[in-house]
Amino acid sequence: MKRLSYALVAVPIVLVLAACTSTPGGTTGENTAGASDGTVTVGFSQATQQSPFYVELGDGVKEAAADNDAELVYVDANGDVTKQNNDIEDLITKNVDVLLINPVDPQGIAPALASAKAAGIPVVTVDRFAEGAIAHVGRDNVEMGRLVGEAVSDKLGEAGGKIIEIQGDAGGTVAADRKQGFHDAFDGNSAVTIVEGPYAEYIRANAVTAMQDLLQANSDVAAIYAHNDDMALGALQVLKENGRDDVIVAGVDGLMEAVKAIDNGDQYVATSLNDPISLGSVAADTAIKAAKGETVDTDIDAGTQLVTTENAASFVGDTLFARSESN
């Protein structure tokens, strides 16, 4: 969903996890569902691991699989929808009990989902919904934007002012939803003007470049809202370099660096949590229930929480993203 400007160490394309120990019999990726021990095998097709968010989402899936004594076959599409289709077809041939998919392109994986349906294998999607899934696990990005918008509104008060919005990606549903929620928080507030800035693709370096130009053109800016914390932190960097400690900043995702900035009272006033580990855990739990024939909701909201100066200290830790209080 979000791309962050961090360097990652390459990881194996296929990981096979069995609860507690290795795959029974020492085979790699062989299905053990239906065996005497009743082990459920989950085939997880990840969109990419070139993002810390998705690496941690995968960690959440692994943790939940282990907790449920399930076997996990983990494949990485590396952002390539053709590879993802092939990966899913391969998982189907391994006779996995359920497919958990984070789609590279929800429309582009239609051929593989048709194959899964023909094979009678249920599909659960995570983060991005794809038609044909029996259940989807995600978060309400409209709500995340709205919560942050209300926090910014409270900080600006009746005086209001100009807000610069640094956007995610053109045409992306996450960006559109986070925009909508934030704007909804200011409906009827004539004291506030929102200037829609460029699409910085959720990348900090892009936001730094954009903010340099935006600040020159909008010297009267009172607040910055970015569609993720990485871009917001880039904007904050530019503000500091220009001595603009009068401008407040807010983002989305609960990136720990942002949470710590909020806790320090460092112009950063709000973010909303998008804990990838809990998202992965809920998704895996849902997939395992579906594999067992249990009833699952078709649309599952993994939830979010607003982080402000009042509660930031309770979320500070050593993880990359702040963990939900339920974890």
Query: Cα(49)–Cα(8) distance, rounded to whole angstroms?
Result: 8
Q: Can you tell me which residue has the tokens 């919005």?
A: 165
pLDDT of residue 124: 98
For residue 33, the model assigns a pLDDT of: 36
CA gap 282, 191 in Å, rounded: 41
pLDDT number for residue 327: 54
Q: In this predicted structure, what is the pLDDT of residue 326?
A: 58
The two structure tokens encoding residue 157 = 């008060």
So what's the pLDDT on residue 50? 83
pLDDT, residue 30, reads 34
Amino acid symbol at 271: T
Sequence-distant (6+) residues with CB within 8 A of 128 are 1, 47, 102, 103, 106, 138, 173
| pTM score, whole prediction | 0.79
Element spanning 268, H or E: strand 268-272
10-residue stretch averages of pLDDT, the chain, 327 residues long: 39 35 28 52 94 91 97 96 98 97 94 98 95 96 98 97 96 91 97 96 95 97 97 97 98 97 95 96 98 96 96 96 79
Name the phi and psi angles at 268, rounded to 5.
-75, 125
Q: What is the pLDDT of residue 51?
A: 81
**C-alpha torsion sign, points 101, 294, 41, 121:** negative
**Tokens 């995570």 label which residue?**
126
Q: How deeply is 148 buried, as exposed, middle or buried, from its count of CB atoms within 10 A (0-12, 13-18, 19+)?
A: buried
Pairing, β 14-17 against β 71-76: antiparallel
Strand partners, 195: 164
Would you give the end-to-end CA distance of the chain in angstroms? 21
- So what's the pLDDT on residue 172? 81
Query: What single DSSP character describes residue 313?
Result: G
Report residue 265 as tokens. Answer: 């009272």
185 HSE (CA, 13 A, CB side): 25
Residue with tokens 């993203």: 321
Separation of alpha carbons 69 and 152, rounded Å: 44
Domains identified in the chain and CATH numbers:
14-139+275-296 (3.40.50.2300), 141-273+311-315 (3.40.50.2300)
